[in-house]
Amino acid sequence: MLVRLSAWLYRHSTVPLLVVSILVFALFLLVVLPREAQRSQQFLGSGPTPDTSFSYTSLELYSMAADFGAEGRAYYIRSRFTFDLAWPAAYWLFLTVSMSAALRAVQSPAALRPVNLLPTASLAFDLVENTAASMAMARFPEEPGIFGPVASLSTSLKWVSIAACFAALSMLAVIYVLRRLRS
């Protein structure tokens, strides 16, 4: 099933879709993320947040929830299911289409093409992180319980998989450039 999904993404990642994904990604980076960061700072302060940290303990997550206050926690939960659904979708689209297009450009063997599913793992980890961290915020003043370690692990895996996506995309770009220089 995953191989079929990968093949479908590979086939449907066209140049027009690549251009759209780049524009959407750039719009988020240049306009949406700065606005959201400003709003987040207004409600959450300038301290750490679960989704911008690489790792945290349940106690640190509890401390963040306490620091946010009731209004901040409500904002955090609301933004995880509005903005933080749109942003992962935007980076997923960009990374998936870019990776698929790059795999096609370097004429990769079929066995290598499922690397275009790596952004899907990033998206899944991000959504689990959002859900678990929101559940921890909603439980406050109770301790996060199982949601603390689940949120933290998902956050770390999200960042590792996003880094792996950009590393793979960079490697494909280098391969493409080197092949173009040879011919």
Residue percentage of the chain with pLDDT more than 70: 100
Q: What is the pTM of this model?
A: 0.94
Residue 182 burial (10 A CB sphere; 0-12, 13-18, 19+): exposed
Inter-residue contact 77 to 134 (CB < 8 Å): yes
Question: What pLDDT does 136 receive?
Answer: 98
DSSP track, 61-79:
HHHHHHHHHHHHHHHHHHH
pLDDT in tens, 61-120: 999 999 999 999 999 999 999 999 999 999 999 999 999 999 999 998 988 999 999 999
Confidence of residue 183 (pLDDT cuts 50, 70, 90): confident
pLDDT greater than 90 at residue 2: no
User: Please, what is the Cα angle at 157 between 147 and 41, to 5 degrees?
Assistant: 70
Distance CA 75, CA 44 (A): 8
Inter-residue contact 162 to 91 (CB < 8 Å): yes
Whether the bond into 48 is cis, omega within 30 of 0: no
